[in-house]
Structure 1
Amino acid sequence: MKPAHSAVVALLGLTVLGLAAPTAAARVEPDPVVAGQRVSISDGGQCARDGAARVSSRLFGPVVLRPGEGGMGARARVAEGAAPGRYPVTIHCASGGASFTETVTVRDGRVEGLNAAQAAGGLALLALAAGAAFWLRRTVGGRS
């Protein structure tokens, strides 16, 4: 068999295996996170909607998932004292159901937000844009 034919057969085989493999069901977004940040947890539609799916993790303790758009989901806050590292988050479907695990990365830092310096900078840019628009309007209108 020619090398090109072998490569095509290998690629087709890998494609079939990739399509047949189960997709990861546990989802935590965003990832990575920082201590104190709120996250969304979802089962990716893998658990029965009428079951009592729950989540276990050292990041936020036990959480119960509720039916929502795309499956069972919940929101939780990462513990304030969570040290940087990788943490498993496991979703347990109703009794006797499957379990799915995802690893979430906690990075060093703080929850992103808008501070006073950023707000002042934004207002300064807005004032500059308003001044430039006023000046251009006067210049184009022939009143220079």
Structure 2
Amino acid sequence: MKPAHSAAVVLFGLTALGLAAPPAWAQVDPDPMVAGQRVSISDGRQCASGRGAWASSTLFGSVVLRPGERGMGAQARVAEGAGPGRYPVTIHCASGGESFTESVTVRDARVEGVNAAQAAGGLALLALAAGAAFWLRRTVGGRS
């Protein structure tokens, strides 16, 4: 089989799997998150708004969902002691109604970006480069 044909078969298979997968009903934003962070939880408009719903997880306990723009939703704070890993979040629609579960990711609490020491080091390198450029300009220009 030619490589183009193989690629087309693989692409078609992945598309079919994607279309066959059930929609994500429990929505937690942001995902991934860190311990102590505030998150938004939504049912993705799957529960009847007049009947009530709640979300439960070891990350934040049980939270009552209220009608909102994206269906039933609420705010919750991820437990401070939550370690990195995957956690289930279950949405329960009304008493005896449908329930569905999604997994969310908690990352290590390290903040990505630069810290104060890295910023100071970068500024020192920038100052050193500016000084070297000034010195080279004066030397090459014949004014030593």
| Alignment TM class, shorter chain as reference | 0.5 to 0.7
1:58 aligned to 2:58? yes
Aligned residue pair count: 109
> Which shifted more, 20-29 or 68-77?
20-29
SS at match of 1:64: strand
* Identity across matched positions, percent: 77
Q: TM-score, normalised by structure 1?
A: 0.64
Which amino acid is the alignment partner of residue 105 of structure 2?
A: T
Task: Write the distance in 2 (CA, Å) between the matches of 1:14 and 1:102.
Answer: 21
SS at match of 2:41: strand
Within 5 Å, which residues of 2 pair with 1:88-99?
A: 88-99=88-99
1:47 aligned to 2:82? no
- Offset, 1:22: 3.5
Name whichever structure is richer in strand by fraction. 2
SS at match of 1:63: strand
Task: Write the distance in 2 (CA, Å) between the matches of 1:91 and 1:111.
Answer: 29
- In structure 2, relative to structure 1, the CA distance for the partners of 1:15 and 1:89 (3 Å cut) is same
- In structure 2, relative to structure 1, the CA distance for the partners of 1:104 and 1:20 (3 Å cut) is closer
- In structure 2, relative to structure 1, the CA distance for the partners of 1:18 and 1:81 (3 Å cut) is closer
- Offset, 1:14: 7.7
Q: TM-score, normalised by structure 2?
A: 0.64
The answer for unaligned runs of 5 or more in structure 2 is 121-144
Report the aligned-residue RMSD. Answer: 2.9
Task: Write the distance in 1 (CA, Å) between the matches of 2:53 and 2:111.
Answer: 28
- Aligned residue number for residue 35 of structure 1: 35
- Aligned residue number for residue 128 of structure 1: none
Task: Write the distance in 2 (CA, Å) between the matches of 1:111 and 1:52.
Answer: 37
The answer for unaligned runs of 5 or more in structure 1 is 122-144
Task: Write the distance in 1 (CA, Å) between the matches of 2:96 and 2:86.
Answer: 27
Do 1:35 and 1:110's aligned partners in 2 also have CA atoms closer than 8 Å?
A: no
> Which runs of structure 1 show a deviation greater than 3 angstroms over 4 or more consecutive aligned residues?
13-22
- Offset, 1:23: 1.1
- Offset, 1:20: 6.0
> Which shifted more, 16-25 or 31-40?
16-25
